[in-house]
Amino acid sequence: MPATITSIAHFLPPDIFTNKYFEEYLETSDEWIMTRSGISERRFAKEGATSDMIVPAALECIEKRGISKEDIDCIIVATVTPDHLFPSTACVVQNKLGIKKCWGYDVSAACSGFLFALESACALVESGRAKKVLLCGADKMSSIVNFQDRAQAILFGDGAGVCLIETSDDPNSGILDSILNIDGAGGQYLHQVAGGSFKPASHETIDKGEHYIYQDGQAVFKAAVVGMANVSEEIMKKNNLTSDDVRWLVPHQANLRIISATANRMGLSNDKVMVNINKYGNTTAATIPICLSEWLDKGELVKGDNIVLASFGAGFTWGATYIKWNMNK
């Protein structure tokens, strides 16, 4: 049986930062941010770490499914802003949730983290190695954003999405296919220079701001437009899906223009595309599960919907996953 999502929830920090917040101290404007990215506000967690956003979403996800925490046998956390480089955020989450017997690990694939971790979760469940995997996509981007750099400060936000992966009760629905890619040659355009073994943190690296995100926006933009559109079209063809068959494109929320290019290539009208970048900005590994959770809560994502998840991010990493959704709110 294929793996499937049996419950999902999300958490967003309460504090909203509008474009006006940046207008007050950076040379930028609401108009520039809206037209170039589609973002009008985002959330930043004033306190706590990535795990502190995961825990409330995880508790809600478990409660919605009506299971005990102890039923979870594996926790996977996709993030580029782990609480610590080690131990893994999965360990921190396990401890905070108070689950006595399970295992888990973190996945580092930036904006494609959720899709890559989903693939691992599916493999565990479909092989019978695990029954219930708690899959978390979460990032506290405000912990690595350079707030003095107008080209990146306005783009990102904090948030978490958590879902449960189990086997489907139907052989024809669930997480049915995926195409995933990495290309390390793209690493030069989007990375964090210091803080790893390549360049351990020092006074010098801090003074140079090398602990922040480095992004060549235009280079990433060009690669993302091509990469996300290509892989989305590829997964449709591979699964004989026409634009009429697809109910929802669930794209990584990095830039509204990248999302539109992908939807155009797939031949999808706007009413078939999940977009909330305007409210939350780019929450990296959290964008896709937050969309799924919000649309399910609204009752707009329903059993039987064919959905395509698509992402592109640092690495480069990119991919698409085809799901026949098989749960209702």
Residues catalogued as catalytic = 111, 252, 282
* Residue 141 in the binding site for ligand UT7 (CB under 6 A): no
Nearer to ligand UT7, 111 or 236 (CB): 111
Q: Which helix (H) or strand (E) holds 90?
A: helix 89-97
Q: How many residues line the site for ligand UT7 (CB under 6 A)?
A: 20
Nearer to ligand UT7, 189 or 325 (CB): 189
CB of 200 to ligand UT7, least distance (A): 25
The CA distance from 201 to 251, in Å, is 34
* Residue 16 in the binding site for ligand UT7 (CB under 6 A): no
C-alpha distances (whole Å) from 35 to each of 17, 39, 66, 256, 281 are 18, 8, 43, 9, 13
* Residue 262 in the binding site for ligand UT7 (CB under 6 A): no
CB of 14 to ligand UT7, least distance (A): 24
The CA distance from 79 to 89, in Å, is 9
Binding-site member from 76, 154, 176, 274 for ligand UT7 (CB under 6 A) = 154
In this structure, how many other beta carbons lie within 10 angstroms of the beta carbon of residue 202? 12
Angle at alpha carbon of residue 164, lines to 114 and 92, rounded to 5°: 70
CB of 153 to ligand UT7, least distance (A): 7
CB of 39 to ligand UT7, least distance (A): 9
CB of 245 to ligand UT7, least distance (A): 27
Nearer to ligand UT7, 218 or 328 (CB): 218
Closest CA to 143 of 86, 82, 205: 82
Which residue sits closest to ligand UT7, CB atoms considered? Answer: 217
Bridge-partner residues for 17, per DSSP? 42
CB distance 306 to 246 below 8 Å: yes
Phi-psi region of 79 (alpha: psi -120 to 50; beta: other; left: phi over 0): beta
Binding-site member from 4, 6, 7, 37 for ligand UT7 (CB under 6 A) = 37
CB distance 310 to 249 below 8 Å: yes
Q: What single-letter amino acid sits at 97?
A: L
Q: What are phi and psi of 261, to 5 degrees?
A: -65, -40
Q: Which of residues 205-224 bind ligand UT7 (CB under 6 A)?
A: 217-218, 220-221, 224
* Residue 150 in the binding site for ligand UT7 (CB under 6 A): yes
Residues that bind ligand UT7 (CB under 6 A): 28, 32-33, 36-37, 111, 150-151, 154-155, 217-218, 220-221, 224, 254-255, 258, 282, 313
